[in-house]
Amino acid sequence: MAKVPRHAFVPETISSQAYRDHPLPIGEGQTISQPYIVALMTESLELEGREHVLEVGTGSGYQAAVLAEIVSRVTTMEIKEVLYHRAARLLDRLGYTSITTVFGDGYYGHPPSAPFDCIMITAAVDHIPAPLLDQLKPGGRLILPLGNPFSFQNLVLLRKKADEVFVKQITGVLFVPMTGRALNR
């Protein structure tokens, strides 16, 4: 995380707050997660360095940049067009060549890039999207804030083993709701 210039991922008007341990608004009704949660989610995936990770909810691009410092390949999806363009330009400008930024509804994942070793959802959803579970490799991990998108959620880590999924609750969290298909099912 020390390699990623967090201040570059927040609006200039609040860049002085970039390294404080709390979420910050990034526009379009979205936030950049507090550094502690970024670190917790990243560490919980137990990354070894050679993984291909799908991130659902690019936002500012900060979490994707943190992941790119650890793994070999990141595909990140954003449904809000303004944020998608802003993050794609920033990640390109900062030289993150191992990140592919995709505009679209992350609920459906990104089949052309699947399967994934790990998936990280950075917006709250009240169920586990089946398309994402389908795109997770056997032995893969999926981390997400699971629960009521308009209230508190539990940060949950899933491990996919053959046809079984094992669930571990990590801690209570509060994330912005996942939009698109997640809210309109």
Which are the catalytic amino acids?
33
- Identify the three-state secondary structure at position 138: strand
- Identify the three-state secondary structure at position 153: strand
CA-based end-to-end distance of the chain: 36
Sheet with 52-56: list strands edge to edge: 99-103, 73-78, 52-56, 116-121, 136-147, 153-161, 164-173
- Identify the three-state secondary structure at position 134: helix
**How far, in Å, CA of 9 to CA of 32, rounded?**
8
